Amino acid sequence: MIVACLALFMAGTGTGVAVTSAVPGSVGINQLKTNAVVSAKVKKPVKKPAFKVIKRTAKGNYGLNYSRATARCRAKEAAIAGGADWDKTATDGWPVVSYSVPNLKKNVATGWTIEIDNLSGSGGVQAIAWAFCAPR
């Protein structure tokens, strides 16, 4: 217990010292003259080219025990994210996401595949896969 308290004290004081002391050679408030840094002297950030991200979806077949769906990106697109959902109007079972994974082709995600299982033992389920696709 004593060792733990000592370690906690040392960690707390070490952090306090690091926050309150300046790095040697750094410039602080005391070294800056009034109006020394004005907007004309600040370099403008370089704007990165924007690209369009498109959400692509696909519905699976209605199934009693499970439903699978794959959302595919178009040629020259790659999936940067994806996910699973189910059609609430067509699903009257107890849906659970079994898996949600990217489709890989030569280390490029070309879409997203999901499976929704019906755990209720009655009714059915219909999967909806989605993938966010961006230009490669």
**pTM for this prediction:** 0.62
Nearest to 129 by CA among 75, 68, 76, 77: 68
Q: How many CB atoms lie within 10 A of CB 97?
A: 14
Judge whether 127 and 64 are in contact, CB under 8 Å. Answer: no
The chain-wide mean pLDDT, for the chain, equals: 82
- For 17-63, the pLDDT digits (tens) are 444 555 666 677 677 777 777 777 777 777 776 778 999 999 999 99
Question: What ranges do the domains of the chain cover?
Answer: 56-135
